Amino acid sequence: MTRRLLLQSGIALANGGSAAGDRTAEMAEYARRIFQRANELRVASGVGALEWWDPLGRCAEQQSARKEKLRFPGHDDPERGNVSQRVNAAGITWDRCGENLFSERGFEDPVHLAIVFWWYSPGHKENMLNPDYTRTGVGVVQGPDEMYFVTQIFLRPRTGK
């Protein structure tokens, strides 16, 4: 356990809370802030805001947790496949989907860095600003080594067929 986690757990317990619950709330807050900032950039770029969708948020959080646990590179989970396979496995129907990933260690707050990284990466920026996408979910997980793993999934739901 790092000093930071030790101190956080002591503070949480002293305040009558649980360190795990506080950590989960902190990660959820980071995810919401990434969602909000991505929408600010979409609107400023003349693209409609994305709708937060809990099923995508759960998929994104699961993928961030798996990236933290398994430390595999890239977008393809060695057991669960690519983003379209993972979204299908979650029972979500879609016409188009995409994914942005980010990881970092050394900063207290991953929100700004994730957004800046995606903004200056052509493929990630394309996902952020793609008007075909209407829904999104973000998942943030931090490992015991303080490495953050961020996943944002973008989706256009399947329309009548």
pLDDT in tens, 69-113: 877 667 777 788 789 999 999 999 999 999 999 999 989 899 999
Q: What pLDDT shows up at residue 72?
A: 65
Query: Do residues 132 and 156 lie in contact, with contact meaning Cβ atoms separated by under 8 Å?
Result: yes
Q: Tokens 């879609």 label which residue?
A: 94
Pick from 96, 21, 31, 36: which is nearest to 64 by CA? 31
* pLDDT one-digit tens code per residue, 131-159: 999 999 999 999 999 999 999 999 999 98
User: Cβ neighbours of residue 8 under 8 Å, at least 6 residues apart?
Assistant: 19, 22, 23
Q: What pLDDT shows up at residue 79?
A: 81
Q: What pLDDT shows up at residue 71?
A: 76
Question: What is the C-alpha separation between 139 and 144, in angstroms, rounded?
Answer: 17
- Give the number of other CB atoms < 10 A from CB of residue 126: 12
Q: What pLDDT shows up at residue 20?
A: 62
* pLDDT one-digit tens code per residue, 16-42: 445 567 888 999 999 999 999 999 999
What region, left, alpha or beta, does residue 73 occupy, with left being phi > 0 and alpha being psi -120 to 50 degrees?
A: beta
H-state helical runs in the chain:
3-14, 19-44, 54-70, 83-89, 111-119, 122-129
- pTM of this prediction? 0.84
